[in-house]
A = this chain, B = another copy of it.
Amino acid sequence: MNNFDFHNPTKILFGKGRIEHLNDHIPVDAKVLIIYGGGSAERTGVLEQVRTALSGRTLVEFGGIEPNPRYATTLNAVKVIVDNNITFLLAVGGGSVIDATKFIAMASLYVGDPWEILTAGTAKVTAAMPFGTVLTLPATGSEMNNGGVITNPEKIAKLPFRSPHCYPIFSVLDPELTYTLPARQIANGAADAFVHIIEQYLTYPSGAHVQDGFAESLLRTIIELGPKALETPEDYDIRASLMWTATLALNGLIGTGVPQDWASHMIGHEITALNDTDHARTLAVVLPSLLNDQRGHKHEKLLQYASNVWGITEGTDAVRIDAAIDATRAFFEQLGIKTRLSDYGIAAAEIELIVSALQEHGMTALGEHKDITPTDVRRILEASL
């Protein structure tokens, strides 16, 4: 096991009706900006629940955060913060709204051009405005970590950030809020969380029994509950377990002290940039192909994954690894997520665009060994057509 620091100060308020007590967790004298995305927050009534819980306070609202939150939009929010002397942010939404809120929290207190935060790193970020979240879509884990991704279409860039100042003060996780989500979003969330876990688990053995055991347990939970969550949308314990799984998939716990991959994410981001395919769906395309391509490097962990996650213990190493990769692909398909580039209208000719974009963004040495080159990516994508 590698040395690690683990520190996650976010307070989780989990369960039914937790929005009602929101007021207790925001400083009495705070001037609050509620940040949300499209119309669903209004339509589902969650925004109204939040307003009711915070009634008596002066609230300012900022809607319109995009699914891949845009840099220009975050700057508009910063202007609202300055104009209204806001002192506390409340994100109401999924990973995109929370990611945007984190960036807004940094940018609103940043001395200098906020674009630096995305391009020069967060070393110069010494503070962020405090913020809480009300999670409406279990998927990204942003509600209990300190990172995010911001898109700048003008620069054709989707840029990640991370800062110790970006942990939410609190996050409200009410599984009942997910009952009305479209099946597509539940499926995407399950797939996203699944691949988050895989990126931190399926590399090479590092003697990390606890992290491996937790990762395998979370993967089995998603495999068991993901399809059930689609079949019976109002089964509380299923939605609750799936929501808590997605949070723990990327709150730092299973990734401490172990090698990490993240190549599927980096490649997937460029597919989304190309034709706006849902993030989770790009992962479901890339991952099975990448696992097959990297079966040499990942040999031991693929066998462990086959056995401990899928119960595959019969046959030669190659047979078991094939079976585990097939099971992974079949699981995504079972969730209603297609796993081929051609399913998303991407043909052989466009692979070069994806590879070039990766190169332009400096992503020329991916994976846990930093040895997946553009040539390797081309081959992985060709195999996923």
| Residue ranges of A at the interface with B (Cβ–Cβ < 8 Å) | 1-18, 206-210, 213-214, 216-218, 220-221, 224-225, 236-238, 240-241, 244-245, 248, 253, 256-257
Contact B217 A236 (CB under 8 A): no
Known: A4-B12, A207-B238. 9 other contacts (CB 8 A): A2-B15, A5-B12, A6-B14, A7-B10, A7-B12, A14-B256, A209-B224, A209-B237, A210-B218
Q: Which residues of B contact A224 (CB under 8 A)?
A: 209
The answer for the CA separation of A248 and B210 in the assembled complex, in Å, is: 9
Contact B4 A15 (CB under 8 A): yes
Contact B11 A240 (CB under 8 A): no
Contact B15 A245 (CB under 8 A): no
Q: Can you list 16 A-B contacts (CB < 8 A)?
A: A1-B15, A3-B14, A3-B17, A3-B18, A5-B12, A5-B13, A6-B12, A9-B9, A14-B256, A209-B224, A209-B225, A210-B245, A213-B217, A213-B220, A216-B217, A244-B257
Q: Can you tell how many copies of this chain the complex includes?
A: 2
Q: Which residues of B contact A7 (CB under 8 A)?
A: 9-12
Contact A207 B236 (CB under 8 A): yes
Q: Which residues of B contact A248 (CB under 8 A)?
A: 210
Q: Which residues of B contact A209 (CB under 8 A)?
A: 221, 224-225, 237, 241, 245
Contact A208 B221 (CB under 8 A): no
Contact A237 B207 (CB under 8 A): yes
Q: Which residues of B contact A14 (CB under 8 A)?
A: 1, 3-6, 256-257
The answer for the CA separation of A221 and B224 in the assembled complex, in Å, is: 22
Give the shortest distance, in Å, between A222 (CB) and chain B (any CB): 10
Which residue of B6, B208, B220 is within 8 Å of A11 (Cβ)?
Answer: B6
Contact A207 B3 (CB under 8 A): no
Name the CB-closest residue of B to A6: B12
9 closest A-B pairs by CB = A3-B15, A207-B237, A213-B217, A7-B11, A209-B241, A6-B12, A9-B9, A1-B240, A210-B244
Give the shortest distance, in Å, between A3 (CB) and chain B (any CB): 3
Once A14-B3, A256-B14 are accepted as A-B contacts, the answer to whether A210 and B216 lie under 8 Å apart by CB is no
The answer for the CA separation of A75 and B15 in the assembled complex, in Å, is: 41
Give the shortest distance, in Å, between A33 (CB) and chain B (any CB): 24
Q: Which residues of B contact A5 (CB under 8 A)?
A: 11-14
Q: Which residues of B contact A13 (CB under 8 A)?
A: 5
Give the shortest distance, in Å, between A231 (CB) and chain B (any CB): 16
The answer for the CA separation of A145 and B148 in the assembled complex, in Å, is: 29
Q: Which residues of B contact A4 (CB under 8 A)?
A: 12, 14-15
The answer for the CA separation of A217 and B5 in the assembled complex, in Å, is: 22
Contact B18 A240 (CB under 8 A): no
Give the shortest distance, in Å, between A98 (CB) and chain B (any CB): 17
The answer for the CA separation of A5 and B24 in the assembled complex, in Å, is: 13
Name the CB-closest residue of B to A242: B209
Q: Which residues of B contact A16 (CB under 8 A)?
A: 3
Name the CB-closest residue of B to A240: B1
Give the shortest distance, in Å, between A139 (CB) and chain B (any CB): 16
Contact B257 A15 (CB under 8 A): yes
